[in-house]
A and B are shown apart, each in its own frame.
Chain A
């Protein structure tokens, strides 16, 4: 079971507007521009919500409901600055962060209990810190997967913390209306309602096959989410989105051993960069170019992700063997790694062999740095 936090800044745009102009405190504030124009509400304060306003509502409708509201065009650059500042604070705590939108962050704290103690206290600490440092209120949901955490953060707004205890996901979700599930819009809601499905509980009572038949892959996802089995993995954008290395042979090569050895060497180098960044890669890509410039690339996604030379080389070599069907000389060979997630040592705490192997690889990295690749070759097994 993982420990996922979902942190959602409360009425974010409005909170920033109140930093810029404290006199907006306690008033119905709407960000979205000209109240007589064609725009929609980008955000509104809790005071404005009491008039029935909500985001994405046409601004003219909002004005009819709440003519006394304060309508602002918004300072969007300022919102990004504050969003980055929040992420900067969170990155001091969370090993992995997925920024889902300008005001929403998923964090994976799996295995961090020893470092931080109570997860609830950690959430409360983060909430205080963001409030004191940036004057921004936020709510946090803690759960075993992204869906549960996100629904949790929405439960007690503003400045709320909701911790869905491990094993309680299904019970927590059961009484909620189906549209609580992220991704269930008005259309899906109506369709579900027309089938007599109103609460999340109603979904779990039906077999998954039913949803697979009615909605395809989306239906299976929906069923899993309703059962408290939403996605556990964060999508992390990296500045460096791929690590790759390739070699163009001085003269075209036919000898397979030379080609495989080169692939091995390249694998060592990319894995080394990977471990330096404390990342693991999920997708491995090989590139093969024949002397006539025909170029072939093959990719494979492995599970779990890895930073292990052996695992990655074996996968790459297999792909290469399958891809290299012609008896033409080879001009270039390359390997690339993508889809990174950060390596969390705690996760494999009880898998001693794995840990030992990781430690060995780290030692190898150190030696490689020292000798600049020259002395170590593990030899292709």
Chain B
């Protein structure tokens, strides 16, 4: 079995109280520290919006100190992927923070996510090549959302450059890439955006408009059902033998759905009958009771 890193996209969500983070928090209570007691990985998304102070990154490392193999993956700033407006200074800013994590042995890699409006072509392939050269000292996970990337030529490019082609699960609209794990190097990076087709459509129409947090998050509001997760697990199982590390990131964050699904995927993928989780999440998602208690399944997994 490969090593699994299973976590969520971001950890700092107010609406995870009280479904995950408790309502009563003592003075020293820290969200990331609490998070790292249960999960071994988190994808940092704040880096997509701003160039963080290195002090912040250093504080993360201190907070996860109790969690032996805790790993961060970091999402690249939108200047590189959506605005295509970057310079040496910005590259340095990104590298600086990545190197802090890397030296502390806490870096899983860099996530480079392009929008749906980045279909496969000679130009976009060249752009991928260019970014992969700039950030060649890190493990790179490239996420594209347009189905045109699913072709032999693109896969060859990823293999040649030793890049991980992210597998994503997203609402199936237009030429959206479907959930179909493909392996291009020794890692798999799988992201789940939910299957809220309606809200996803709505968000396309309100693109660029001023929106509240709730409005922005609406399209990620989706709780995967146990049957969907079982199907996902079986699909991942087909490819997991080909890689050394599998990253699984839940991005369906509103109201803690991602947290509940992450615990369920730990149960399914790591074949744990009983999963350590806080009472808060079991209360918010009663169906977790079974894996919280182990449900009398004393039989060893086979």
Known A19-B226, A132-B301, A135-B295; judge A85-B234 contact (CB<8 A): yes
**Cα–Cα, bound, A129→B301 (Å):** 7
CB atoms of B227 and A16 under 8 A apart: yes
Known A128-B299, A132-B297; judge A81-B231 contact (CB<8 A): yes
How would residues 227 to 270 of chain B score, 1 for a CB under 8 Å from any chain A CB and 0 otherwise?
Answer: 11011001000000000000000000000000000000000100
Distance from B232 Cβ to chain A, minimum over Cβ atoms (Å): 10
- For residue B302, CB closer than 8 A to chain A, the reply is yes
A81 cross-chain contacts in B, Cβ below 8 A:
225, 227-228, 230-231
Interface centre among A77, A79, A85 (most CB of B within 10 A): A85
Of A20-28, A223-231, A271-279, A293-301, the segment with at least 4 beta carbons within 8 Å of chain B is A20-28
How would residues 202 to 245 of chain B score, 1 for a CB under 8 Å from any chain A CB and 0 otherwise?
Answer: 00000000000000000000000111101100100000000000
CB atoms of A22 and B289 under 8 A apart: yes
B301 cross-chain contacts in A, Cβ below 8 A:
132-133
B268 (CB) vs chain A CBs: closest residue = A133
Interface centre among A20, A79, A128, A132 (most CB of B within 10 A): A132
A85 cross-chain contacts in B, Cβ below 8 A:
227, 230-231, 234
CB atoms of B225 and A20 under 8 A apart: yes
- For residue B287, CB closer than 8 A to chain A, the reply is yes
B273 cross-chain contacts in A, Cβ below 8 A:
132
Interface centre among A23, A79, A133 (most CB of B within 10 A): A133
- For residue B286, CB closer than 8 A to chain A, the reply is yes
How would residues 111 to 147 of chain A score, 1 for a CB under 8 Å from any chain B CB and 0 otherwise?
Answer: 0000000000000010011011111000000000000
CB atoms of B287 and A21 under 8 A apart: yes
Distance from A300 Cβ to chain B, minimum over Cβ atoms (Å): 39
B226 cross-chain contacts in A, Cβ below 8 A:
19-20, 78
> Chain A: interface secondary structure?
helix
A88 cross-chain contacts in B, Cβ below 8 A:
234
How would residues 1 to 42 of chain A score, 1 for a CB under 8 Å from any chain B CB and 0 otherwise?
Answer: 000000000000000100111110000000000000000000
- For residue A260, CB closer than 8 A to chain B, the reply is no
CB atoms of B290 and A132 under 8 A apart: no
How would residues 131 to 172 of chain B score, 1 for a CB under 8 Å from any chain A CB and 0 otherwise?
Answer: 000000000000000000000000000000000000000000
Q: Chain A contact residues (Cβ within 8 angstroms of B): what range? A: 20 to 34
Distance from B233 Cβ to chain A, minimum over Cβ atoms (Å): 8
- For residue A82, CB closer than 8 A to chain B, the reply is yes
**Cα–Cα, bound, A332→B197 (Å):** 49
A18 (CB) vs chain B CBs: closest residue = B290
A22 cross-chain contacts in B, Cβ below 8 A:
286-287, 289-290, 295
Question: Which residue in B231, B287, B299 is a CB contact (below 8 Å) of A19?
Answer: B287
> Using a CB-CB cutoff of 8 Å, which residues 274-302 of chain B contact chain A?
286-287, 289-290, 295, 297, 299, 301-302
CB atoms of B234 and A135 under 8 A apart: no
- Could you count the A-B residue pairs with CB atoms below 8 Å apart for me: how many are there? 52
B297 (CB) vs chain A CBs: closest residue = A132
B228 cross-chain contacts in A, Cβ below 8 A:
81
B290 cross-chain contacts in A, Cβ below 8 A:
19, 22, 135
Distance from B230 Cβ to chain A, minimum over Cβ atoms (Å): 5
Number of interface residues of B (CB under 8 A): 18
Distance from B263 Cβ to chain A, minimum over Cβ atoms (Å): 14
**Cα–Cα, bound, A79→B228 (Å):** 11
**Cα–Cα, bound, A125→B302 (Å):** 8
B231 cross-chain contacts in A, Cβ below 8 A:
81, 84-85
A77 (CB) vs chain B CBs: closest residue = B227
**Cα–Cα, bound, A132→B301 (Å):** 7
CB atoms of B302 and A132 under 8 A apart: yes
B299 cross-chain contacts in A, Cβ below 8 A:
128, 131-132
**Cα–Cα, bound, A19→B285 (Å):** 12
A134 cross-chain contacts in B, Cβ below 8 A:
230
Distance from B283 Cβ to chain A, minimum over Cβ atoms (Å): 13
CB atoms of B302 and A129 under 8 A apart: yes
CB atoms of A128 and B302 under 8 A apart: yes
B293 (CB) vs chain A CBs: closest residue = A22
B287 cross-chain contacts in A, Cβ below 8 A:
19-22
Interface centre among B226, B287, B290, B299 (most CB of A within 10 A): B226
B302 (CB) vs chain A CBs: closest residue = A129
Distance from A323 Cβ to chain B, minimum over Cβ atoms (Å): 44
Distance from B199 Cβ to chain A, minimum over Cβ atoms (Å): 19
CB atoms of A78 and B225 under 8 A apart: yes
Distance from B227 Cβ to chain A, minimum over Cβ atoms (Å): 3
**Cα–Cα, bound, A328→B227 (Å):** 60
Distance from B281 Cβ to chain A, minimum over Cβ atoms (Å): 14
Distance from B70 Cβ to chain A, minimum over Cβ atoms (Å): 28
B225 cross-chain contacts in A, Cβ below 8 A:
20, 75, 78, 81
B302 cross-chain contacts in A, Cβ below 8 A:
125, 128-129, 132
CB atoms of A23 and B286 under 8 A apart: yes
A126 (CB) vs chain B CBs: closest residue = B302
A135 cross-chain contacts in B, Cβ below 8 A:
290, 295
Distance from B284 Cβ to chain A, minimum over Cβ atoms (Å): 14
**Cα–Cα, bound, A81→B231 (Å):** 7
B292 (CB) vs chain A CBs: closest residue = A22
**Cα–Cα, bound, A132→B225 (Å):** 18
Return the 9 tightest CB-CB contacts between A and B, nearest first: A81-B227, A78-B227, A85-B230, A22-B289, A19-B226, A88-B234, A22-B290, A82-B227, A129-B302
Sample of 13 more A-B contacts, CB < 8 Å, known A20-B287, A131-B297:
A19-B287, A21-B286, A21-B287, A78-B227, A79-B227, A80-B227, A81-B228, A82-B230, A88-B234, A125-B302, A132-B273, A132-B302, A135-B295
21 pairs of residues in contact across A and B, judged by CB atoms under 8 Å: A16-B227, A19-B287, A19-B290, A22-B289, A23-B286, A75-B225, A77-B227, A78-B225, A78-B226, A79-B227, A81-B225, A81-B227, A81-B228, A81-B230, A82-B230, A85-B230, A88-B234, A131-B299, A132-B297, A133-B230, A135-B295
Q: Which residues of A come within 8 Å of B, CB atoms?
A: 16, 19-23, 75, 77-82, 84-85, 88, 125, 128-129, 131-135
